[in-house]
Structures are given as C-alpha cells and as structure tokens.
C-alpha cells in the first residue's frame, strides 16, 4: 500500500468534454469520495465544471505522485495535468486526446511505483483518441495491459450486488458478473480472436481473480458459446466444438468448475445462473447488454489480471448530458467503493 492507511485511489477525470469531470466534482463536494482519493486532471477544467454547476469546491493542487490527505467534503486534491486546448461540454477536441492519455499515464505510473493503491477511471472517448493519431487505441483495458507490459487482462463488469467479496454468487434479482473473452473488436474479427490460447489465458485470470478479489473458494464459471445455440452441434458454427469445448475440457481436468459452452440466450436466465460466480461471454455485445439491463448505473467495470486494482464506470462519456449536472453518479460511486475495497485488501500482484 502507498502509505499506512487508508488506501489512495488515483481517479482519472476522463474525456474533458464528457461527464467525467462533473461527476468527480459533484462527488467531492458531497463528501462521497473514499477515504483518500486524488483526481488526476486539469484543475482549471474541474473548477470551471464546478462553477458551471454551482458546486462549491476547493481544489488542492499537489505534485503528481505526492502524498494526499484524507478526503473531506468540499475539498478535492488534484494531481494536475494540463489540458492541451480549452474544452467545452459535449464538444470533442482531438487536441485533448493526448491530455486524456497523460492522465492515464500519471495514474498508472503512481500505481506501478506504489504512490497510489488503485486506479479508478472516468470515461474517455475512444474515437477521438483514435482520430488523434493513436490508431491502435481500443480502450482503457488494452492501454493498461500494454502499459503494464502483460499479455492478457480480463474485462469484467459486475452489478453492485455482485461486486464485493461477501456476495458469493448469483442470487437472483440483479447480481451478475460478466467477463469478456474479447473486448473492443469489430464483430467481423471476433470469431478469429476466440482462440484456444486466448480462452485458456482468460479463464485462468478470471478463475484466479475470483478467488483473489471475491473470496470465491472454487469459482463456478458459465461459458457462452459463440454461435446461435452454441453452434447447434456444429451445424451453425464450429468454434464451440473445435475451440471452446476442448479448452473447457482441459481446464476441467485441472479442477476448474466450468459449465459450457452454453447458448448465451438460455445461459442468461435465472435458472442457469443459479450457483454461477461469473459468466464468460465471447464478445462485448453478447454479455454487456444483459449486465446493463440488470444494473446500469449501479455496476462497475474491473480489469482483472493487472498488478494493481483498476475499476471504472459502466457508462461512457455521455456527451449529450455533459455540463448539465444530470448524469447519474451511481456507477462512479460504486467503482470508487470497489477500488477502495480491493486496495484495502492490499492484494497487489507481484508481476
Ligand atoms: N469506461 C469508459 O471509458 C467507457 C467509455 N465509453 C465510450 O464513451 C463514448 C460514448 O459511448 P456511448 O455508446 O454513447 O455510451 P454512453 O454511456 O456515453 O451513452 C449512452 C446513453 O447512456 C446515457 N448515459 C451515459 N452515462 C450516463 C449517466 N452517468 N447517467 C445517465 N445517463 C447516462 C447517455 O446520455 C446516452 O443516452 C464512446 O467513445 C465509448 O467508447 C463507453 C463505455 C465505457
Ligand atoms: N463497454 C465497456 C467499455 O467500453 C470500457 O472500456 P475500457 O475503456 O474500460 O477498456
């Protein structure tokens, strides 16, 4: 941990034209930031969004990486990163894409060297970062993987009732954890990306982190097929038979509790989810619509497999709401609480 107690969360404020900055200032003003939280972003931007919304807030500028006092209502410690261009709510600017990446770099570096204990991210806009010249940018998840120099990480979203260690498994009524075998890929590329080696890596990380972070002794994971009806015995696709099933079989032989490959449309029903600790979906829009239907606004995104905890909101930049103070703060609240809980357990990897 960065200091004796409590853990320090580095909270990146996200795309400056989106709702991230205002969510951060609103939570800070209301005293809803966990015990020690430092925003990473442009202080003038945060002051402008606070003033725009009539939020009374004192910003405390601190040198990036320096120590941070305990959170207090109406006070927001900031590790400053300067905007590259003025920002207006709802108006993207490619000039500020580098700024967004710089905020990530500050937080990642702080977590890697132990100056912060966990990272929480407000939403960024993938398109504007790609348009700024970062053609390979896909999202925080992939950026963090590469920045930490590791081969694989797992994106998992969980509704609030399934976020914490004491919530063992699906109990009906909206508790759900959904991990993804592939993340931000065009659908056309998904089938080729569902390889045996990727699935094996993903399942090992998911299994290990369900034990590590959630206290599940023997994680029970339900795995979706890729094709309709999980391939209908090979008549509607062969990936289940040729790729997914053999990986599950090999891991079962090691003691993994894996169900599948199952048709996704029947897997996501209460009867099939009973006793399941997490679902592994093959692609983004196979799993996340169900998760968001179950708990949009009270769910969080977790990156598994990193050397430090990283959580995020379940929503994007919401440019249509930016600057109006109407965006729901629930998911950021949940993401912060989860990061604090994970960091509090001091469960950093040794990678
Ligand atoms: N963690 C992250 O950085 C994420 C970033 N994104 C990015 O955000 C950008 C916009 O994505 P969209 O698909 O338009 O999704 P979006 O989540 O920004 O917006 C979808 C709809 O949900 C509403 N919404 C979003 N957040 C809300 C909140 N806090 N309270 C109330 N309503 C809310 C919006 O007003 C809009 O109607 C894209 O570049 C996307 O890649 C998307 C998801 C997560
Ligand atoms: N739909 C989830 C999402 O896009 C979040 O991606 P990331 O930026 O956290 O990798």
Predicted-complex ipTM score: 0.99
- pLDDT tens sequence for the chain (351 residues): 444 679 999 999 999 999 999 999 999 999 999 989 999 999 999 999 999 999 999 999 999 999 999 999 999 999 999 999 999 999 999 999 999 999 999 999 999 999 999 999 999 999 999 999 999 999 999 999 999 999 999 999 998 766 665 444 444 455 789 999 999 999 999 999 999 999 999 999 999 999 888 778 899 999 999 999 999 999 999 999 999 999 999 999 999 999 999 999 999 998 888 889 999 999 999 999 999 998 899 999 999 999 999 999 999 999 999 999 999 999 999 999 999 988 987 644 332
Strands (E), the chain: 8-12, 36-41, 58-61, 75-80, 118-121, 154-159, 177-180, 220-224, 257-262, 278-281, 299-304, 310-313
Inter-residue contact 334 to 312 (CB < 8 Å): no
Question: What are the C-alpha distances in Å from 95 to residues 11, 130, 175, 319?
Answer: 22, 12, 40, 17
Known binding-site positions for a divalent metal cation: 184, 229, 284
Q: Which two tokens stand for residue 242?
A: 């040729």
Domain boundaries, the chain: 1-150+308-351, 152-305
d(CA 307, CA 103): 19
Domains 1-150+308-351 and 152-305 fall in the same CATH topology? yes
In CATH terms, 1-150+308-351 corresponds, of 3.40.718.10, 3.40.640.10, 3.30.70.20, 3.40.50.300, to 3.40.718.10
Q: Which atom of ligand 2 is nearest to the CA of 288?
A: 1
Record: fold of 152-305: Isopropylmalate Dehydrogenase (3.40.718)
Choose the residue to mutate in 24, 123, 184, 291 for probing ligand 1, maximizing ligand atoms within 8 Å of C-beta.
Answer: 123
SS3 55: coil
Ligand 2, CB cutoff 6 Å, lining residues:
139-141, 288, 301, 312
CA of 317 to the centre of ligand 1 (A): 5
Place of tokens 């905890």: 309
For ligand 1, whether the C-beta of 313 sits within 6 Å is yes
CA of 319 to the centre of ligand 1 (A): 8
CA of 235 to the centre of ligand 2 (A): 33
For ligand 1, whether the C-beta of 320 sits within 6 Å is yes
């Amino acid at each position: 941990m960065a200091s004796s107690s409590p853990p320090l969360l580095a909270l990146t404020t996200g795309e400056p034209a989106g709702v991230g900055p205002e969510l951060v200032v609103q939570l800070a003003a209301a005293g809803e930031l966990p015990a020690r939280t430092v925003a990473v972003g442009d202080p003038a931007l945060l002051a402008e969004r606070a003033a725009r919304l009539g939020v009374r807030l004192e910003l405390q500028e601190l040198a990036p990486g320096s120590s941070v006092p305990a959170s207090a209502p109406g006070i927001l410690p900031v590790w400053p990163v300067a905007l590259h261009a003025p920002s207006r709510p709802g108006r993207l600017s490619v000039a500020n894409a580098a700024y967004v990446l710089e905020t990530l770099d500050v937080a990642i570096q702080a977590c890697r060297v132990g100056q912060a204990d966990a990272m929480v991210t407000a939403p960024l806009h993938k398109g504007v970062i790609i348009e700024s010249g970062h053609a390979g940018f896909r999202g925080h998840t992939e950026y963090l993987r590469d920045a930490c120099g590791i081969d694989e990480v797992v994106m998992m979203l969980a509704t609030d009732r399934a976020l914490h260690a004491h919530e063992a498994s699906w109990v009906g009524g909206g508790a759900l954890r959904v991990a993804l075998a592939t993340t931000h890929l065009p659908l056309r590329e998904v089938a080729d990306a569902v390889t045996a080696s990727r699935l094996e890596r993903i399942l090992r990380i998911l299994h290990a982190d369900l034990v590590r972070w959630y206290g599940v002794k023997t994680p029970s994971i339900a795995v979706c097929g890729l094709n309709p009806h999980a391939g209908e015995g090979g008549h509607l696709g062969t990936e289940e038979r040729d790729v997914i099933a053999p990986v599950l079989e090999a891991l079962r032989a090691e003691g993994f509790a894996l169900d599948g490959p199952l048709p996704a449309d029947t897997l996501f029903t209460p009867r099939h989810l009973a006793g399941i600790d997490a679902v592994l979906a093959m692609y983004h829009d196979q799993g996340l619509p169900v998760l968001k239907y179950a708990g949009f606004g009270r769910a969080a995104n977790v990156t598994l497999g990193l050397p430090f905890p990283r959580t995020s909101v379940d929503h994007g930049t919401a440019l249509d709401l930016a600057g109006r103070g109407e965006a729901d703060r629930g998911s950021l609240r949940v993401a912060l609480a989860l990061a604090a809980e994970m960091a509090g357990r001091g469960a950093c990897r040794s990678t």
